[in-house]
Structure 1
Amino acid sequence: MKVNLIEPLGIEEDLIHRYGQKISELGHEFEYYNNKTDSEEEMIARAEDADILMIANNPLPYNVIKSLDKLKLINVAFTGIDHVATDIASEKGIDICNASGYSDISVAELVIGLVIDLYRQIKTGDEVVRTGGIGRAGREIRGKVVGIIGTGNIGIETAKLFSAFGAEIIGFSKSEKSEFIDIGGRYVTLDELLEKSDIVSLHIPSNDETAGFIGESELSKMKKDSILINCARGRVVDNEALANALNNGMIAGAGIDVFDMEPPIPSDYSLLAPKNTILTPHIAYLTEEAMLRRAEIAFNNTIAYLNGKPQNIVKL
């Protein structure tokens, strides 16, 4: 079989070639491209002879997948697959696997970082010092109620960290997990979570069901001194409604790593203006350690498929 990795994975190329050598030793061919492309024509050229196509978070459009007649597996070195045209992949009987789990720790740690920044005004404190001003009182995580929306692996990892800070953990999720309860979490309704939480952290996937999951109605139920953290997907929040809530003092702040588009963000984007908002350029997953874990999982997925033992296959 032919395996084509058509974009970088954020690790040293020597390591990519070592993984590729393992594929070659199994009697298969490996081809690697060390730069991204937004051109559909170029994507097709890179992938047209592939049985297994490896990508990361670069969008894989409908027309590209439709044109690939040999393709058997799309190996996504990422957790979410909303950037892949899954409808045509399903229609053509192409399997999709992902690298779920590689960024659990990195995402959870950024959530904590955003909360500490908002609570202790680290960013604004730096500016105050440099302009000769004085600081103001912040807040502590200990004793606060943290609402985790979505208790998959990342949600649970985030809950563990908040629990270590001494917070009370409540959760809302499509399916309840015993591990969440074991760490002291308590499941509640969505309304109760929004009404009681000092900190709301989102950990749900992006799909038709979750689009705009947090909108004007949900934001109106949150406490005025609460903060919202979104390190999940941009589409799960109505970001216009969030900007209005922040501007009108409906909630106290927000930490946002994901948007309605990938950075760079347009200069007129609604979330750029509100105060008490920390924005990061979709980096929750992006640590050196996570990139190494991601590559290992992705190449293990490829090798397992080549050995006739597919793993981490996503149900479409």
Structure 2
Amino acid sequence: MKIVVLEDLAIPESDIRNIAKSITDQGHELTLYQKTDNIELQKQYVKDADILVIANMPLKGEVIRAAENLKYISIAFTGFDHVDLEACKERNIQVSNAAGYATIAVPELVFGMAISLLRSVVTLDKKIRYGETKSGSRQQEIYGKNFGVIGTGTIGIRVAKIALAFGANVLAYSNRENEELKSLGVKYMPLDELLSISDIVSIHTPLLPETKGLINKDNIGLMKPSSILINTARGPVVDTAAITNALKEGRISGACLDVFDMEPPLSSGYQILTAPNTVLTPHIGFATEEAMVRRTDIIFNVNIANWLKGEHHNKVI
């Protein structure tokens, strides 16, 4: 079969081919392309593909429909809202994601961002370079605070456990309660209650129709003026305009955002850029060197290798 990788997987080509060697040694062809936004080029690249690999580039229905031989898509990413799944269903194309590859990387960023905000690291870095002191900056701890986790899948579970290790009181909201977390003292509750009593709120839900705008003008109004919001999940889960206004009006204390309602680079007039007390990063939560290797291994040696044997791992559809 012909396997086409439609965009750079952020590790050297030689490493990709080495990871995929057990598959290509069976006679399967592997072709690698660099990402392009040109739809016609994408159609040309995929036209003979049996198996397609993408990361987080949008994959439109017209490209999927142009791939006449396509049978399987392996997404080198946790989220899958950037793929036209309806077009896949029309063609009976099976789809998997790379669940688990960022389970270490994303939680580490969550706490790096939280500490950066609570200890005013970004502000003080600038001050020290201009001969100033910590005067006027806030210094806070995670210990003893109510730490709310929205979504307790694999990443949310790890975030909750790390928060417990910091000595926080961990609260959770999810469509499925995790028994291990409950045994460790994590308390599940309705979303509105969690927002109203949490000092720190960290979001870990996928982007689905029911989670778009999950954090919005109305329920942001329930949060404490001293609270902070962290989003390393998907941008549209949070209403960016609402969180910007809440920050500017002092209705919440701060925000750490790695994702937005558009992919970086952000335009110079993008609203959150002018909000106070923020730590912003350009969608890096998943992007450690170790995670890039891990996801490539999942794509080839878990997803594709097992699919070729008739087994569907990390199933999306």
The two structures have a TM-score, normalised by structure 2, of 0.97
1:55 is displaced (CA, Å) by: 0.8
Q: How does 1:259-270 map to 2 (within 5 A)?
A: 259-270=260-271
**Which deviates further from its counterpart, 183-192 or 75-84?**
183-192
Are 2:25 and 1:32 equivalent residues in the alignment? no
Counterpart residue type for residue 95 of structure 2: I
The answer for the alignment partner of 1:11 in structure 2 is 11
Shift of 1:197: 0.2
Say whether the 8 Å CA contact 2:2–2:28 is kept in structure 1.
yes
Give 1:173-252 correspondences, 5 Å limit.
173-252=174-253
Q: Distance in 1 between matches of 2:63 and 2:310?
A: 26
The reply to whether residue 62 of structure 1 matches residue 61 of structure 2 is yes
For 2:304, the equivalent position in structure 1 comes to: 302
Which residue identity is paired with 1:270? Q
Distance 1:57 1:289 in 2: 18
- Work out whether residues 156 and 179 of structure 1, in 8 Å CA contact, stay in contact via their aligned partners in 2: no
Equivalent residue letter for 1:73: Y
* Deviation, structure 1 residue 137: 3.8
Aligned to 1:115: 114
Partners of 1:130 and 1:161 in 2: CA distance? 32
Q: CA deviation at 1:208?
A: 1.2
Letter in 2 for 1:175: R
Determine the structure 2 residue equivalent to 1:274: 275
**Matching of residues 277-296 of structure 1 within 5 Å:** 277-296=278-297
Q: Name the SS of the counterpart of 1:171 in structure 2.
A: strand
Match of 2:73 in 1: 74
Alpha-carbon distance in structure 1 between the residues aligned to 2:164 and 2:178: 16
Q: Residue 15 of structure 1 aligns to a residue in which SS?
A: helix
* Structure 2 residue runs without a partner (length 5+): none
Counterpart CA distance in 2 for 1:250 and 1:154 is: 28
In the aligned structure 2, how far is the partner of 1:21 from the partner of 1:162? 40
Cross-structure match for 2:124: 125
Matches of 1:139 and 1:19 in 2, distance apart?
44
Stretch deviating more after TM superposition (241-250 or 175-184): 175-184
RMSD: 1.0
Q: Secondary structure at the match of 2:58?
A: coil
Post-superposition shift, 1:15? 1.2
Once the two structures are TM-superposed, the CA of residue 21 in structure 1 deviates from its matched residue by 3.0
> What are the superposed Cα offsets for residues 255-305 of structure 1, whole Å, 9 maximum, x if unpaired?
000011110001111100011001000000010111111010001211111
Equivalent position SS for 1:74:
strand
In structure 2, the partner of 1:152 is 153
Count of aligned pairs: 314
**Shift in Å, 1:184:** 2.2
Counterparts of 2:21 and 2:236 in 1: how far apart (Å)? Answer: 39
Alignment partner of 1:160: what SS? helix
Query: Quick check: 1:48 aligned with 2:50?
Result: no
Post-superposition Cα deviations, 1:98-138, rounded to whole Å, max 9, x if no partner, equal 10000011100111011101100111011111112221340
Q: What is the match of residue 103 of structure 1?
A: 102
Q: Is 1:83 aligned to residue 85 of structure 2? A: no
Structure 2 distance, partners of 1:19, 1:77, is: 14
CA shift for structure 1 position 309: 2.0
Task: State how far apart, in whole Å, the 2-side matches of 1:68 and 1:48 are.
Answer: 4
Distance 1:98 1:137 in 2: 41
State the AA in 2 paired with 1:94.
Answer: I
- 1:313 is the counterpart of 2:315: yes
Instruction: Return the offset for 1:29.
Output: 1.6
Match of 1:169, SS state, is: strand
Residues 38-78 of structure 1, C-alpha deviation per residue, up to 9 Å, x if partnerless? Answer: 11111111111011001111111111012212110011010
Aligned equivalents of 2:276, 2:246: Cα separation in 1: 11
Q: Tell me, what secondary structure is at the counterpart of 1:3? A: strand
> What is the CA deviation profile of residues 158-189 of structure 1, one whole-angstrom value per residue up to 9, with x for unaligned ones?
11111111000000001111122133211011
* Cα displacement (A) at 1:16: 1.1
**Residues 219-256 of structure 1: CA distance to partner in whole angstroms, max 9, x if unpaired?**
10000000000000000011001000000000000000
Report the TM-score, using the length of structure 1 for normalisation. Answer: 0.97
